[in-house]
Amino acid sequence: MLRANTIYYPLIFKMPAGTSRGVLNKKESWFLVIEDSHKPGIFGLGECSLIPGLSPDDRSSYEAELGALCSQIEQHSIWNSNRGGLFPSIRFGLETALLDLNTGGNRLFSQNSFTSGHEGIPINGLVWMGEKSFMEKQVKEKIQAGFSCIKIKVGAIDFAEEIELLRNIRANFTAADIEIRLDANGAFKPEDAMEKLKYLSDFSIHSIEQPIRQGQTDQMAGLCKTSPIPIALDEELIGIMSVNDQRTLLKQIRPQYIILKPSLLGGVTVADTWIKLAEELNIGWWATSALESNIGLNAVAQWVFTKNNPMPQGLGTGQLYKNNFVSPLLISNGGLFHNKNAGWDVSTLTP
Protein backbone atom coordinates (compact mmCIF):
# COMPACT_ATOMS: atom_id res chain seq x y z
CA MET A 1 0.00 0.00 0.00
CA LEU A 2 1.29 3.45 -0.89
CA ARG A 3 1.17 6.45 1.42
CA ALA A 4 1.72 9.98 0.21
CA ASN A 5 2.00 13.46 1.61
CA THR A 6 3.51 16.80 0.68
CA ILE A 7 5.82 19.07 2.67
CA TYR A 8 5.88 22.80 2.04
CA TYR A 9 9.51 23.94 1.87
CA PRO A 10 10.10 27.37 0.28
CA LEU A 11 13.58 27.78 -1.17
CA ILE A 12 15.32 30.98 -0.04
CA PHE A 13 17.71 32.67 -2.47
CA LYS A 14 21.13 33.62 -1.12
CA MET A 15 20.68 36.95 -2.89
CA PRO A 16 17.74 38.40 -4.82
CA ALA A 17 17.51 36.81 -8.26
CA GLY A 18 16.74 39.32 -11.00
CA THR A 19 14.59 38.12 -13.91
CA SER A 20 12.60 39.84 -16.64
CA ARG A 21 9.54 39.07 -14.52
CA GLY A 22 10.85 40.79 -11.44
CA VAL A 23 13.14 39.97 -8.54
CA LEU A 24 12.77 36.64 -6.72
CA ASN A 25 13.64 36.25 -3.05
CA LYS A 26 12.18 32.78 -2.62
CA LYS A 27 10.76 29.95 -4.70
CA GLU A 28 7.54 28.33 -3.57
CA SER A 29 8.20 24.59 -3.32
CA TRP A 30 6.50 21.46 -2.07
CA PHE A 31 8.02 18.00 -1.87
CA LEU A 32 5.96 14.93 -2.63
CA VAL A 33 6.84 12.01 -0.37
CA ILE A 34 5.64 8.54 -1.39
CA GLU A 35 6.14 5.46 0.80
CA ASP A 36 5.39 1.78 0.27
CA SER A 37 4.16 0.05 3.45
CA HIS A 38 5.87 -3.14 2.24
CA LYS A 39 9.26 -1.37 2.17
CA PRO A 40 9.73 0.27 5.59
CA GLY A 41 12.11 3.20 5.66
CA ILE A 42 12.17 3.64 1.89
CA PHE A 43 10.46 6.65 0.35
CA GLY A 44 10.55 8.51 -2.95
CA LEU A 45 10.93 12.27 -3.21
CA GLY A 46 9.63 14.50 -5.97
CA GLU A 47 9.92 18.28 -6.21
CA CYS A 48 6.91 20.42 -7.11
CA SER A 49 7.86 24.08 -7.31
CA LEU A 50 6.72 27.25 -9.02
CA ILE A 51 8.18 30.26 -10.80
CA PRO A 52 5.71 33.17 -10.40
CA GLY A 53 4.39 34.47 -13.69
CA LEU A 54 5.89 31.60 -15.67
CA SER A 55 4.65 28.29 -14.30
CA PRO A 56 1.23 27.39 -15.73
CA ASP A 57 0.31 25.91 -12.35
CA ASP A 58 0.94 29.15 -10.45
CA ARG A 59 -2.67 29.20 -9.23
CA SER A 60 -4.63 29.27 -5.98
CA SER A 61 -5.76 25.64 -6.35
CA TYR A 62 -2.19 24.29 -6.33
CA GLU A 63 -2.14 22.97 -2.77
CA ALA A 64 -5.62 21.49 -3.18
CA GLU A 65 -4.37 19.66 -6.27
CA LEU A 66 -1.45 18.27 -4.30
CA GLY A 67 -3.84 17.07 -1.58
CA ALA A 68 -6.10 15.40 -4.14
CA LEU A 69 -3.08 13.69 -5.69
CA CYS A 70 -1.97 12.26 -2.34
CA SER A 71 -5.49 10.94 -1.69
CA GLN A 72 -5.60 9.29 -5.10
CA ILE A 73 -2.21 7.66 -4.57
CA GLU A 74 -3.39 6.16 -1.27
CA GLN A 75 -6.63 4.97 -2.87
CA HIS A 76 -4.65 3.34 -5.71
CA SER A 77 -6.29 5.72 -8.17
CA ILE A 78 -4.46 7.13 -11.16
CA TRP A 79 -3.99 10.88 -11.34
CA ASN A 80 -5.55 12.07 -14.57
CA SER A 81 -2.59 12.56 -16.90
CA ASN A 82 -4.45 15.38 -18.63
CA ARG A 83 -3.88 17.40 -15.46
CA GLY A 84 -0.25 17.52 -16.47
CA GLY A 85 -1.00 20.41 -18.80
CA LEU A 86 -2.50 22.43 -15.95
CA PHE A 87 -0.03 21.31 -13.29
CA PRO A 88 3.23 20.35 -15.03
CA SER A 89 5.38 20.76 -11.93
CA ILE A 90 3.15 18.32 -10.03
CA ARG A 91 3.41 15.87 -12.89
CA PHE A 92 7.20 16.21 -12.76
CA GLY A 93 7.19 15.70 -8.99
CA LEU A 94 4.98 12.62 -9.22
CA GLU A 95 7.05 11.11 -12.01
CA THR A 96 10.34 11.54 -10.17
CA ALA A 97 8.98 10.52 -6.74
CA LEU A 98 7.73 7.21 -8.17
CA LEU A 99 11.02 6.68 -9.99
CA ASP A 100 12.91 7.34 -6.76
CA LEU A 101 10.69 4.95 -4.78
CA ASN A 102 11.02 2.20 -7.38
CA THR A 103 14.81 2.46 -7.49
CA GLY A 104 15.37 2.24 -3.73
CA GLY A 105 14.60 5.70 -2.40
CA ASN A 106 18.18 6.97 -2.53
CA ARG A 107 17.79 9.38 -5.47
CA LEU A 108 20.07 7.20 -7.56
CA PHE A 109 18.06 6.20 -10.61
CA SER A 110 20.66 4.31 -12.59
CA GLN A 111 24.29 3.25 -12.57
CA ASN A 112 26.42 4.96 -15.21
CA SER A 113 29.59 6.99 -15.56
CA PHE A 114 27.82 10.13 -14.27
CA THR A 115 26.43 8.61 -11.08
CA SER A 116 29.71 6.77 -10.49
CA GLY A 117 31.54 10.11 -10.58
CA HIS A 118 33.69 9.32 -13.60
CA GLU A 119 32.08 11.74 -16.02
CA GLY A 120 30.46 15.15 -15.64
CA ILE A 121 27.87 17.10 -17.59
CA PRO A 122 29.18 20.31 -19.24
CA ILE A 123 27.05 23.25 -18.10
CA ASN A 124 26.80 26.95 -18.79
CA GLY A 125 27.58 29.53 -16.13
CA LEU A 126 24.51 31.67 -15.44
CA VAL A 127 24.86 35.44 -15.20
CA TRP A 128 21.90 37.08 -13.47
CA MET A 129 20.32 40.36 -14.46
CA GLY A 130 21.34 43.44 -12.49
CA GLU A 131 23.45 46.55 -12.68
CA LYS A 132 26.17 46.44 -15.32
CA SER A 133 28.94 46.26 -12.70
CA PHE A 134 27.21 43.34 -10.98
CA MET A 135 26.87 41.46 -14.26
CA GLU A 136 30.51 42.13 -15.17
CA LYS A 137 31.57 40.76 -11.79
CA GLN A 138 29.59 37.57 -12.41
CA VAL A 139 31.09 37.10 -15.86
CA LYS A 140 34.62 37.33 -14.42
CA GLU A 141 33.74 34.84 -11.68
CA LYS A 142 32.30 32.32 -14.16
CA ILE A 143 35.35 32.52 -16.41
CA GLN A 144 37.71 32.16 -13.43
CA ALA A 145 35.69 29.12 -12.32
CA GLY A 146 36.49 27.38 -15.60
CA PHE A 147 33.29 27.83 -17.57
CA SER A 148 33.69 27.85 -21.35
CA CYS A 149 30.02 28.73 -21.89
CA ILE A 150 28.15 31.51 -20.14
CA LYS A 151 24.49 32.43 -20.31
CA ILE A 152 23.60 36.09 -19.85
CA LYS A 153 20.08 37.25 -19.17
CA VAL A 154 19.29 40.41 -21.12
CA GLY A 155 16.35 42.78 -21.27
CA ALA A 156 16.33 44.15 -17.72
CA ILE A 157 18.82 47.00 -17.97
CA ASP A 158 19.48 49.60 -20.66
CA PHE A 159 20.19 47.90 -23.98
CA ALA A 160 23.25 50.11 -24.59
CA GLU A 161 24.72 48.90 -21.29
CA GLU A 162 24.12 45.29 -22.29
CA ILE A 163 25.90 45.93 -25.59
CA GLU A 164 28.82 47.47 -23.67
CA LEU A 165 28.96 44.42 -21.38
CA LEU A 166 29.22 42.11 -24.39
CA ARG A 167 31.79 44.36 -26.04
CA ASN A 168 33.97 44.17 -22.92
CA ILE A 169 33.74 40.38 -22.85
CA ARG A 170 34.69 40.04 -26.49
CA ALA A 171 37.56 42.49 -26.06
CA ASN A 172 39.16 39.92 -23.77
CA PHE A 173 37.74 36.58 -24.89
CA THR A 174 37.06 35.33 -28.40
CA ALA A 175 34.22 33.00 -29.35
CA ALA A 176 36.77 30.17 -29.26
CA ASP A 177 37.52 31.08 -25.62
CA ILE A 178 33.99 31.65 -24.34
CA GLU A 179 30.63 30.70 -25.84
CA ILE A 180 27.97 33.31 -25.06
CA ARG A 181 24.31 32.40 -24.88
CA LEU A 182 21.70 35.08 -24.27
CA ASP A 183 18.27 34.74 -22.69
CA ALA A 184 15.82 37.57 -23.30
CA ASN A 185 12.85 35.90 -21.57
CA GLY A 186 10.58 37.58 -24.13
CA ALA A 187 11.81 41.08 -23.27
CA PHE A 188 12.06 42.47 -26.83
CA LYS A 189 9.12 43.99 -28.67
CA PRO A 190 8.35 42.33 -32.04
CA GLU A 191 8.76 45.63 -33.87
CA ASP A 192 12.34 46.24 -32.72
CA ALA A 193 13.54 42.69 -32.03
CA MET A 194 15.32 42.28 -35.37
CA GLU A 195 17.23 45.53 -34.96
CA LYS A 196 18.43 44.41 -31.52
CA LEU A 197 19.38 40.98 -32.82
CA LYS A 198 21.53 42.63 -35.50
CA TYR A 199 23.36 44.70 -32.87
CA LEU A 200 23.91 41.61 -30.71
CA SER A 201 25.21 39.57 -33.64
CA ASP A 202 28.41 41.63 -33.64
CA PHE A 203 29.58 39.68 -30.60
CA SER A 204 29.59 36.10 -31.92
CA ILE A 205 26.55 35.00 -29.93
CA HIS A 206 25.82 31.28 -29.91
CA SER A 207 22.05 31.71 -29.52
CA ILE A 208 19.34 33.78 -27.88
CA GLU A 209 16.40 32.33 -25.98
CA GLN A 210 12.90 33.66 -26.50
CA PRO A 211 13.66 37.15 -27.91
CA ILE A 212 9.92 38.01 -27.89
CA ARG A 213 7.06 36.83 -25.70
CA GLN A 214 5.53 33.45 -26.39
CA GLY A 215 2.26 33.17 -28.29
CA GLN A 216 3.32 35.39 -31.22
CA THR A 217 3.81 32.52 -33.60
CA ASP A 218 4.02 34.40 -36.89
CA GLN A 219 6.42 37.01 -35.55
CA MET A 220 8.64 34.38 -33.94
CA ALA A 221 8.67 32.33 -37.13
CA GLY A 222 9.77 35.42 -39.05
CA LEU A 223 12.60 36.07 -36.60
CA CYS A 224 13.79 32.45 -36.73
CA LYS A 225 13.90 32.61 -40.51
CA THR A 226 15.94 35.81 -40.79
CA SER A 227 17.73 36.35 -37.47
CA PRO A 228 21.54 36.65 -37.61
CA ILE A 229 21.61 34.83 -34.25
CA PRO A 230 20.16 31.30 -33.83
CA ILE A 231 16.97 31.41 -31.77
CA ALA A 232 15.95 28.98 -29.03
CA LEU A 233 12.38 28.55 -27.85
CA ASP A 234 11.82 28.30 -24.11
CA GLU A 235 8.57 29.71 -22.70
CA GLU A 236 6.99 29.02 -26.11
CA LEU A 237 6.87 25.29 -25.27
CA ILE A 238 5.08 25.64 -21.94
CA GLY A 239 1.52 24.32 -21.82
CA ILE A 240 1.71 22.56 -25.20
CA MET A 241 0.83 18.98 -24.20
CA SER A 242 -0.60 17.39 -27.35
CA VAL A 243 2.01 15.74 -29.59
CA ASN A 244 0.20 17.10 -32.63
CA ASP A 245 0.27 20.61 -31.20
CA GLN A 246 3.95 20.25 -30.33
CA ARG A 247 4.80 19.10 -33.85
CA THR A 248 2.71 21.91 -35.38
CA LEU A 249 4.42 24.54 -33.25
CA LEU A 250 7.91 23.41 -34.23
CA LYS A 251 6.97 23.18 -37.91
CA GLN A 252 5.42 26.66 -37.89
CA ILE A 253 8.23 28.44 -36.08
CA ARG A 254 11.24 26.32 -37.14
CA PRO A 255 13.58 27.46 -34.36
CA GLN A 256 17.23 26.54 -34.38
CA TYR A 257 16.99 25.19 -30.80
CA ILE A 258 14.49 24.37 -28.08
CA ILE A 259 15.12 24.57 -24.32
CA LEU A 260 13.67 21.79 -22.17
CA LYS A 261 12.63 22.39 -18.55
CA PRO A 262 10.88 19.21 -17.39
CA SER A 263 9.12 20.78 -14.41
CA LEU A 264 7.58 23.44 -16.67
CA LEU A 265 6.74 21.02 -19.48
CA GLY A 266 5.20 18.20 -17.43
CA GLY A 267 8.05 15.81 -16.72
CA VAL A 268 10.89 14.03 -18.46
CA THR A 269 8.52 11.82 -20.48
CA VAL A 270 7.04 14.93 -22.08
CA ALA A 271 10.55 16.33 -22.59
CA ASP A 272 11.49 13.08 -24.35
CA THR A 273 8.64 13.67 -26.79
CA TRP A 274 9.90 17.20 -27.53
CA ILE A 275 13.37 15.79 -28.19
CA LYS A 276 12.05 13.20 -30.61
CA LEU A 277 10.06 15.81 -32.55
CA ALA A 278 12.97 18.26 -32.60
CA GLU A 279 15.39 15.67 -33.91
CA GLU A 280 12.94 14.73 -36.68
CA LEU A 281 13.04 18.39 -37.79
CA ASN A 282 16.83 18.84 -37.29
CA ILE A 283 16.27 21.23 -34.40
CA GLY A 284 18.89 21.25 -31.65
CA TRP A 285 18.10 21.19 -27.94
CA TRP A 286 19.49 21.37 -24.45
CA ALA A 287 17.93 21.14 -21.01
CA THR A 288 17.76 23.66 -18.20
CA SER A 289 16.64 23.37 -14.62
CA ALA A 290 13.77 25.63 -13.60
CA LEU A 291 15.49 26.81 -10.41
CA GLU A 292 14.83 23.55 -8.59
CA SER A 293 16.55 22.50 -5.38
CA ASN A 294 19.19 19.78 -5.55
CA ILE A 295 16.40 17.18 -5.48
CA GLY A 296 14.80 18.32 -8.72
CA LEU A 297 18.16 19.22 -10.25
CA ASN A 298 19.45 15.72 -9.54
CA ALA A 299 16.50 14.16 -11.36
CA VAL A 300 16.94 16.42 -14.39
CA ALA A 301 20.72 15.86 -14.48
CA GLN A 302 20.48 12.06 -14.35
CA TRP A 303 17.89 12.13 -17.14
CA VAL A 304 19.95 14.52 -19.30
CA PHE A 305 23.07 12.40 -19.00
CA THR A 306 21.30 9.43 -20.59
CA LYS A 307 20.56 11.57 -23.68
CA ASN A 308 24.24 11.83 -24.70
CA ASN A 309 23.90 15.47 -25.70
CA PRO A 310 27.41 17.03 -25.77
CA MET A 311 26.15 20.64 -25.59
CA PRO A 312 26.51 22.53 -22.30
CA GLN A 313 23.30 22.16 -20.29
CA GLY A 314 21.67 24.74 -18.03
CA LEU A 315 22.15 22.87 -14.77
CA GLY A 316 24.19 25.26 -12.65
CA THR A 317 21.45 26.39 -10.25
CA GLY A 318 22.20 24.15 -7.26
CA GLN A 319 24.13 26.85 -5.40
CA LEU A 320 21.42 29.50 -5.36
CA TYR A 321 19.70 28.76 -2.06
CA LYS A 322 20.47 29.23 1.62
CA ASN A 323 18.43 26.15 2.55
CA ASN A 324 19.22 23.74 -0.28
CA PHE A 325 19.70 20.07 0.54
CA VAL A 326 23.12 18.53 1.00
CA SER A 327 23.65 16.28 -2.01
CA PRO A 328 26.33 14.49 -4.07
CA LEU A 329 26.06 17.14 -6.79
CA LEU A 330 29.00 19.47 -7.26
CA ILE A 331 30.23 21.94 -9.87
CA SER A 332 33.84 21.80 -10.96
CA ASN A 333 35.60 23.47 -13.88
CA GLY A 334 32.40 24.20 -15.80
CA GLY A 335 30.80 20.80 -15.27
CA LEU A 336 28.20 19.21 -13.01
CA PHE A 337 29.42 16.07 -11.27
CA HIS A 338 27.94 13.42 -8.98
CA ASN A 339 30.26 12.56 -6.10
CA LYS A 340 29.54 8.92 -5.34
CA ASN A 341 31.27 9.25 -1.96
CA ALA A 342 28.95 12.03 -0.78
CA GLY A 343 25.48 11.48 0.59
CA TRP A 344 22.16 13.25 0.90
CA ASP A 345 20.68 15.09 3.85
CA VAL A 346 16.92 15.25 3.38
CA SER A 347 16.15 14.89 7.07
CA THR A 348 13.78 17.85 6.93
CA LEU A 349 11.62 15.83 4.52
CA THR A 350 11.83 12.46 6.24
CA PRO A 351 8.35 10.99 6.86
SS (H, E, C) the chain: CEEEEEEECCEEEEEEEEECCEEEEEECEEEEEEEECCCCCCEEEEEEECCCCCCCCCCCCHHHHHHHHHHHHHCCCCCCHHHHHCCHHHHHHHHHHHHHHHCCCCCCCCCCCCCCCCCCEEECEEECCCCHHHHHHHHHHHHHCCCCEEEEECCCCCHHHHHHHHHHHHHHCCCCCCEEEEECCCECCHHHHHHHHHHHHHHCEEEEECCECCCCHHHHHHHHHHCCCCEEECHHHCCCCCHHHHHHHHHHHCCCEEEECHHHHCCHHHHHHHHHHHHHCCCEEEEECCCCCHHHHHHHHHHHHCCCCCCCEECCCCCCECCCCECCEEEECCEEEECCCCCCECHHHCC
Q: Any idea which residues carry the catalytic annotation?
A: 153, 261
